[in-house]
Each structure stands twice: as structure tokens, then as C-alpha cells.
Structure 1
Amino acid sequence: MIADSVVFDDEHLPRRLLHREAAVDHLSRAWEPALGGEQAHDVLIHGPPGVGKTALTRHSLQKLTGHVDVQTAHVRCLGKTTAGVVRSVLHDLPGSDPSVNVPREDLCIKLQERVDDPVIVVLDEADGLPATDALDRLVDVEKLSVVVICHNPDKWLSRLDGRLRRRLTFAEFGLERYGVDELADILEARANLGLPSGKVTREQLEEIADEVAGVARNGIQALRQAALRAEELQHDRITDEDVSESFERARRHIRELNLETLPFHHQLLYELIRVGDGLEAGELHDQYDAVADRAYRGRGQTPISERARRTKLSKLEEYDLIEVEGENRHRVYRVCDGEIVPAIGLHQIVGSRESY
């Protein structure tokens, strides 16, 4: 049934971003100075998960670098320290990677030395930056500009001190969810590339677009799951039942992908909640402390504070991996799907609640 599965991957970039033309133009104007060898403008892109913020940025950078020799770096900020951010930028720029034991200050000096021409650094999932020190170090580099991708711009900007906010003059814009017809157009383009002709109807694509409320990622994965179900049941084409059954399958697949991409801190907290099957905040923090020494041993990381854990828990909720009820210490955490487990062997460390 599926002729080209790559078309349905999150990393797939279409040649044209349908219904994002204005946003592409916005980015092109912000980066126009780089065409003349000058520093590009900084950009802040925000919007809910799954609406294509990263795809828009990657697509627009691809267009830019096709016309001019501008260096770019893409940093996924979740779980990264300042040194980790700078190291990721150096990894993407021409030149050898610094050794793992290079101190943070030396990494920042290396970055200063390596940037002679315009560089655009994408800070993806910038909500996950533990502090603004990393951003401070980046904006110190002449001819380096940043693209900040986040969900809540007001919350993110509130973390910047006045000096840093004055230094960053963002070209800011938000992406909204697609309309039903817009998302159906996008799904139709994917179907034309990824499925044999005539396997899905426009009406079915509109049903998918409506059900996922205009979130492109959810719609694309629902279409994939509808096609996989049709293939499994040896249907000649995607049936309406395949479509109706695709949404929960897609939701599980996206949750699995989300958990897989999260750093170790998030995965440990998730597994504690999954095994605990409903933990109050106090219980969760106690159990984290009880397993922390074993869990972090040999990983080159250290346990995190309660405050930092709350940030990670917010990300788990945002990624539709956990549900939260109540307030403050009386919050109760539950996983959305207990069948989804981390792939990094945490079960033996976490064990059962009775083992603490």
C-alpha cells in the first residue's frame, strides 16, 4: 500500500511548503543581510506542537543555502547545557569537533574563532534551554544570528534579562494550526508521493484533517497508519474504517517517537510515573531521589533538582505522554499509555513501587 514510507517521516521536507508561503517570505527577509555577507536578523518562531515550525525553518534554510554560502547549525536544546549547545554548533560548522573534555570557556573561544562569515544557528525546542547563558554566549559572536523555536513566546522571553533582550531584536511570528482544507491539501500532496494512485479519497483526507484539528504532524501520521492498516488487512484501498482506526494508532506512534527523542532525565521521570501508575508529586520526587544514584551511574550526568524536574514534567505533559491532575504537592501524575516504555532499559532500575 505504501509506495514510499519516507514521505511520512517527520524529517521529510517537501519541495514546497503549502500554505506557509507568507512565513517563508518572512524568514527570507530576516536573513536577507546574509546574502551580502552581513549578519542576519534574529528570528523567534512560536506556535503549538506539530504545526511545522522546524520544517519551515529547515525548508527556508535549504532555500537560502542554495543561493549563498551561509553556514548553519541546528541545535535541539532539550537537556543541553551551555557547553552542550556550543559544542553542537561547532559540530555543525566546518572544522574538527573539539574533544569531549574541552571546558565550556574554551568551547566559546573556539566558536568565536571559527565564525568569520554569516552563521545562522537554530535553537529548536528552545523552551528546554536550562538557562539563558547559552544564548548570551551565542549573541556575543559577531556575524552569528539565532533562530529561536519555542511554544510559548511570552514565557520564553520573560526569562531573558533586560540586557539580553535589548541585544536581540527579533523578527517574531507565530504559526497557527492549518484549516481543514489547507491540511487536506498537504495530506493529498503526501498521498500523491507516498501512496499508489487512487488509494485514498479527498473526503477521507478532509476527515483526517478535521479530526486532528489542523495539526500537520498528527494528520500525516494518521494517514500513514490508515495506509498501514489497509495493508495489514489486505484492503485494495484505504477504507473509512481504516481512517477511523488510524487516529489512536497515530497517537501511540507519535507518543513513542516523542519519548524516544527525549533526554534521559525525562525518560527516568516518565518510567517512574508509568511504574507507579499514578503518583502524587511528593511520591514522585521521593522515588526519584531513591533511584537517582543507580540511574545516573556511568551516564556522565547528575541528578537534577525538584525545580528542574518540574520543567521536565511539563515537557512530558506537552508531549502527550503524561496527564496531570490537581495542584502543587497534590498533583497526581499518570502516563497516557502504559504500553509505551522507554527504550533505554530503565525498568530494572525503577523496578516496582514496593522495591524502594
Structure 2
Amino acid sequence: MIVNARVLRPEFVPRDVVHRDAEVSHLSSALRPITDGNPAETALLCGPSGAGKTCTARFTVQRLRETALKVNSQYINCWEDYSRFKLLYRLLEGLDRAFDVHRQSTPKDELLERLRADEGPPYVVILDEVDQLEDTSVLYDLYRTPGLTMVLVANGEEELFSRLDDRLVSRLQTATRVHFEKYTLDELVSILEDRVRWGLREGVIATEQLATIADAAAGDARVAIGVLRTAGRRADQEDMESISYEIIREAVPEAKSEIKQKNTEKLTPDQQTLYEIIAEHGDVASGELYERYSDRVNKPKTKRMVRNYLQKLRHYNLIIAEGDNRGRTYHPVS
């Protein structure tokens, strides 16, 4: 039934990004000066999870590289590479200049010096989940690095800017903003139809069934594609000729659980601690949560940073917040 599993993966970048023409055009315009040998503006892509931000960024940069003769690029997920050292290391990897870097002994400043010493083609860097960076001052260093253009991807602009110092905020005020909204049901069906055409055997699922999947995904393309992948896998395992509604109903919670597990595994140590406390207690007041968190970690982050972490957990549907300010409580998503 599944003829190309790769196109059913969330990281797959299609040949064409549907229902994001305006966003692709906007980002392309921001990067176009590079093709004329001029510096481009920093771009900031914001919107909810599963709205196509990462796919749009990777597709647009890939297309830029096809039209411009000499452009380097690198994609970095800051949820995985959230420290200053890891980020700079990945950037040097993209230039093949990290071969003799030693994680224990090479100073961070030397990594930045190497990056700035590069005299190669323009370097376009996609920083996905940029609000996950532990040390956001590295963004200021990258902003001042000649030949390097940043494409920043985050859920919310306000949450990101609240963590930046004034000098960086003032510079990013001129960044090109590309805002994303959740997909409509019809748009998700269209996205799924493409994945079916590329990844599944012809005739195994009907458009009405794709609409059922899209409805369950509630505007999140990552969830929709995950449900389709899970349903196809289940049908394969049961040697079915087509995907039934029953298979889809079973696939929805399984796919959501799989995505939730992956999101949980990506949490930073501090975020993981916060999530574990909320999961253990089921319903925790804001003040109590911070106290329990401070007791469990050696170097607790500030309350402001913890609020940002909790907002991130909410964006990825791991926790729910109720109430305001001091009366706010948190509980896990079941």
C-alpha cells in the first residue's frame, strides 16, 4: 500500500508547497538580494505548529540555491541544537569547517571566529524553533557575521522578542515578517491528496476519508500527515486492500500519541523537568510549579524563562493552562 514512505514523513519537502504561495513569495523577496550579490534581510516566520513554516523555509531556500549559482545553506533545529556551542558547530558543519573541532576543548569564541573568517559564498541559515536557544545572544553575533542571512522560525514573535536584549530587538525590528495561519480543512485535504498521490498505491483511500483525517487534525498538517502515515501502516500490517474508516479512527489517537512522544523526547532538560512535574501532579498552580522545579534542578532558570518554556509546552499540545497570572494552573494533555 505504501509505495514511498519518505513522502509521509513530516520532514519531507515537496516539489511544490501548496496553499503557501503568498508566504513563499514573501520570503523569496526577502532573500532575492542574495542573487545580485547583495546582503538580504533577516526573515522571521511565525505561526502555530503544523502551519507549514519549516516546509516553506526549506522549500524557499532550496529554490534559491537552484536559481543562484553560489549559495550555501544550513537547516538547524534549535530544539536539538539549543546551546551556543552546538549551534555554532552545526553552522561550521554546513561549511565543512568543523572537522577538527573538539567539543570539550575548542573555545566557543574560536567557533565564531572561524565562521566569520569564511570567505565563501553567501550563507543562508534556517534556525527552526529559534525560541528554544539557551543563549539568544548568539543571534546578535550571527546578525553581525558578514555574508550570513538568518531565516528565523518560531511559534510566536512576542515570546521570542521577550527573551532578546534591546540591541538585537532593535535590529530585528526591520526583519521581514512572514505570518502563518492554521490550514483550513480543504487545504489539509489538498495537502493529503498530494501525499497520497506520491506515497500510496492508487485508489486506497477516498477524498471523504481524507476530510475525516483533516477534521481530526484541526489545522495541523503535521498531525494530518501523521494520521495518514499511521493509517497506511496499519492497513499494510493487516493486508488490507484499502484504508477503512475504522483504521482511520484507530490511527488518529495513535498518530497524536506518536507526535506527543516525539515532542516530549525533544524537550530540553529544564522543560522535561517542568513537564514531568505537571504530569505527576495532574494540576499544578504556577507558584507551586516553580518551587517544585527549583527543588529538582541545580541551576533553575528565571521565572520569566520558565514561563517561556511553559508556553512552548502549550504550543506543542503537551500541557493546558487555565486562569491568569498568579491564579494560573497547568495540567497535562491526556
Which gives a bigger RCO, structure 1 or 2 (Cα 8 Å, sep 6+)?
Answer: 2
CA distance in 1, matches of 2:48, 2:208: 26
SS of the aligned residue for 2:297 comes to helix
CA distance in 2, matches of 1:87, 1:303: 26
Q: Pick the aligned partner of 1:91 from 90, 93, 98.
A: 93
CA distance in 2, matches of 1:280, 1:194: 46
Deviations 1:277-326 (A, max 9, x none): 43334443343344435xxxxxxxx5534443332222112211122334
Match of 1:187 in 2: 192
Establish whether residue 128 from structure 1 lines up as the match of residue 96 from structure 2.
Answer: no
> Which one is further off, 43-52 or 204-213?
204-213
CA distance in 2, matches of 1:124, 1:115: 25
Given residue 89 of structure 1, which amino acid in structure 2 is its aligned partner?
Answer: L
Match of 1:347 in 2: none
CA distance in 2, matches of 1:216, 1:132: 29
Match of 2:305 in 1: 308
Match of 1:349 in 2: none
Match of 1:228 in 2: 233
Sequence identity percentage:
35
Match of 1:51 in 2: 51
CA distance in 1, matches of 2:333, 2:23: 34
Deviation at 1:200, TM superposition (A): 0.3
From the superposition, tell whether residues 327 and 19 of structure 1 become closer, same or farther in structure 2 (CA, over 3 Å): closer
Confirm or deny: 8 A CA contact 2:89 2:98 kept in the other structure. Answer: no
Equivalent residues in 2 for 1:152-191 (5 A)? 152-157=156-161, 159-160=163-164, 163-168=167-172, 169-191=174-196
Deviations 1:102-152 (A, max 9, x none): 333332222211254311121211222345411110111112111111122
Q: Pick the aligned partner of 1:319 from 308, 316, 319.
A: 316
> Which one is further off, 20-29 or 134-143?
20-29
Q: Pick the aligned partner of 2:258 from 250, 253, 256.
A: 253
Deviations 1:156-215 (A, max 9, x none): 345555543443432222122223222212101111222111110011112222332332
SS of the aligned residue for 1:66 comes to helix
Match of 2:297 in 1: 292
Given residue 128 of structure 1, which amino acid in structure 2 is its aligned partner?
Answer: Q
CA distance in 2, matches of 1:158, 1:290: 26
> Which one is further off, 223-232 or 67-76?
223-232
Deviation at 1:48, TM superposition (A): 0.9
Q: TM-score when scaled to structure 2?
A: 0.88
Uncovered stretches (5+) of structure 2, i.e. residues with no partner: none
Establish whether residue 239 from structure 1 lines up as the match of residue 239 from structure 2.
Answer: no
Question: What root-mean-square deviation, in Å, do the aligned CA atoms of Structure 1 and Structure 2 show?
Answer: 2.5
From the superposition, tell whether residues 134 and 12 of structure 1 become closer, same or farther in structure 2 (CA, over 3 Å): same
CA distance in 2, matches of 1:179, 1:284: 36
Given residue 126 of structure 2, which amino acid in structure 1 is its aligned partner?
Answer: V
Given residue 36 of structure 1, which amino acid in structure 2 is its aligned partner?
Answer: D
Match of 1:332 in 2: 329
